[in-house]
Structure 1
């Protein structure tokens, strides 16, 4: 990446890549949250996200335990002890999972589906995709992996409590998609969502490079086709009105009226008066701007993904001499800058940050591109800040945990 190069904002670009050739605007207007979408894609376009050799390496090198790693067949889990053993470690105080490779592959040959949750924490290309989609949707994104070889389905007909993008990485898989039988069901619901009895809305085969979007609460089932198949499910965990009410309840802890005991033994008129005070304070808090305040606080309190670059991160008082060092913003949500009184402020990582307004010339490109080289930042600040000041500010951001460092070829 050369100095001064501008790139497309990461979040929208990531959504456009996985939806191609469907435009994100078209998807958001006609499908997001309301209907399924099947997109035919170029074969191999998702291959770099999880090659078979990388999956094999992850299984070899990581201490993966149930339920993160599991085998399922026709809706039933395989006994954990049949593919994992646990050995004592740390003078017997801990239990370390060890894979039984021969037994595991025997299960797979006989029709089991291999499930590996949160692979976005195990492979950088998938983590990068999840990070970019989190920037766009402003919600937590988790990516799970499913691999099969025979014709036995992994899971029975079911619905998920989050929206999913299914990326067919390699091979093929048959899918049946039904609608909701209960509008917007919850995991802990007051009423059960009954299984659909009619024909599916869509019955088809995902080919290598295809995408299938399924909204939360839509019933679906998948089945391998007697060939190696691997897909990723990108889950977007959106908030509901119940999350908003829980947030409001926490805010109302500041209210003396809501902290007060309810007047169970008082007269009917006193109880009615207390209820009216509660209602007035609740509705005073629940105004037209409540939703925007909720979203803003969620963004400000969002947890970043773990990102380390040792030994650099442990020596923040200096930067490498190379101008190609990559400075990567850690804050997991888009930043909103406010300038006043010669200062720039923004909320991120559970606190409010305040810097001299000269810093905006560096903060803005970092917020827009998420990663810039030292050379790019110096170019952005040309005529306003010298390189020594740029480097000192990057060191300050690094000390506060707002940025991490990497090599220029990461961009």
Structure 2
């Protein structure tokens, strides 16, 4: 399966020369686009998945078409749903010149989800995917910029991208920029081409004489504001900051001389945040909750054999476990193993595991795949540790 190197080439050069600075076009980077998303895959999402309106938008010439024009009542699951996408209605709108946008569609396409998680492991920020299905002569959106760095993979037909030599420093949730007057470069994409567009770079996207399907991988960049907000929220839970403000007729006047003390104390505690605190603040975010768990149920159904000494295991792509420090250990009767237990959080779930399991998980997080025999000096214990990590869905077998 392709990952970031297949998309951008030399990853180090991409980070230093292009990320956040300038576009990158790699013609024919993907030899077989079906490995990412085939037309049959996309058709199945729209026509056979019971897709509901929040997962799709239909846009024409800058206007979002109301969802009641492409949904119909459905008795899927006997729930009396009213927002199920009607494939015939969507297709008619497409034939009438509208663009179909499938949002966070990687959750419905396993190969695309795996790609997102592999890219995520390289960039360290959450990654998801949209698919844009456009008819000939389509212009879904006017000149705009995105709040994310994006990697565009053309999987069918062609599309013309006009990129403006300008970076909006704080694009927020994205911005429409009609009438932008700046130098621009046109990039003609064909099937298999990859285009990187920096966060905040204005662009205009059009089809010409052919229909087009492209996948956009969005790197949902976390900001310093995100991190500092989360760290501050953790600190604010301490007793020191739950004390009431002074009482009296002028609370602001009384609070003013105390403010610097509390602000300085907060700044000092933020500056003292260690690696474990930072890891928790970043990777406990909901955006990191959907790791690649493909094959987990299949292996259970097929009663997959236990890992052998020479087998290797690795963390599943997109799994960023938050592991408690040793002083947070506690006696837990439901721990995986004997005696003390360590709490591991991953993907919105929490586990209590034996210390040796937590230590193996920490080593996998720091250093990549490990052979089972390296997990413990005792081969039997190594196999048991691997079995626990595989069973919890934190790890997967890794090729030799």
* The two structures share one fold, judged by TM-score above 0.5: yes
Q: Does 1:209 align with 2:198?
A: no
TM-score of the two chains, using structure 1 as the length reference: 0.77
1-structure distance, mates of 2:29, 2:192: 5
Matches within 5 A, 1:329-340: 329-330=315-316, 332-333=318-319
2-structure distance, mates of 1:399, 1:267: 56
Deviation at 1:222, TM superposition (A): 0.5
Matches within 5 A, 1:97-108: 97-101=84-88, 103-108=89-94
Corresponding residue of 2:235: 252
Deviation at 1:268, TM superposition (A): 7.5
- Give deviations 1:279-305, integer Å, cap 9, x for gaps: 121111121656884345323564243
Corresponding residue of 2:47: 60
CA, structure 1 residues 27+321, in 2 after alignment: closer, same or farther (shift >3 Å)? closer
TM-score of the two chains, using structure 2 as the length reference: 0.78
Q: Does 1:142 align with 2:106?
A: no
Deviates most, 52-61 or 266-275? 266-275
Deviation at 1:261, TM superposition (A): 2.9
Q: How many residue pairs get matched?
A: 381
Matches within 5 A, 1:2-401: 14-20=3-9, 23-42=10-29, 44-88=31-75, 94-95=81-82, 97-101=84-88, 103-180=89-166, 182-187=168-173, 195=178, 197-263=180-246, 265=248, 270-287=254-271, 293-295=277-279, 297-299=281-283, 302-305=288-291, 307=293, 309-310=296-297, 312-313=299-300, 319-320=304-305, 329-330=315-316, 332-333=318-319, 348-349=345-346, 355=354, 364=363, 377=372, 384-386=377-379, 388-401=380-393
SS in 2 for 1:120: helix
Deviates most, 279-288 or 154-163? 279-288
Deviates most, 117-126 or 281-290? 281-290
CA, structure 1 residues 312+45, in 2 after alignment: closer, same or farther (shift >3 Å)? closer
Is the 8 Å Cα contact of residues 33 and 163 (structure 1) preserved in structure 2? yes
SS in 2 for 1:111: coil
Is the 8 Å Cα contact of residues 341 and 353 (structure 2) preserved in structure 1? yes
- Give deviations 1:199-236, integer Å, cap 9, x for gaps: 44322211222221112222111001121311110001
Corresponding residue of 2:394: 402
2-structure distance, mates of 1:212, 1:319: 40
2-structure distance, mates of 1:95, 1:285: 50
2-structure distance, mates of 1:287, 1:245: 10
- Give deviations 1:350-376, integer Å, cap 9, x for gaps: 769765559967975687556x8xxx6
SS in 1 for 2:297: coil
1-structure distance, mates of 2:325, 2:239: 34
1-structure distance, mates of 2:75, 2:318: 37
Is the 8 Å Cα contact of residues 49 and 126 (structure 1) preserved in structure 2? yes
1-structure distance, mates of 2:83, 2:178: 39
2-structure distance, mates of 1:27, 1:393: 38
Structure 2: 5+ residue stretches without partners? 328-339
2-structure distance, mates of 1:30, 1:395: 43
SS in 2 for 1:171: strand
2-structure distance, mates of 1:60, 1:361: 44
1-structure distance, mates of 2:267, 2:205: 46
Deviates most, 38-47 or 159-168? 38-47
Is the 8 Å Cα contact of residues 133 and 141 (structure 1) preserved in structure 2? yes
Structure 1: 5+ residue stretches without partners? 1-9
Deviation at 1:320, TM superposition (A): 2.9
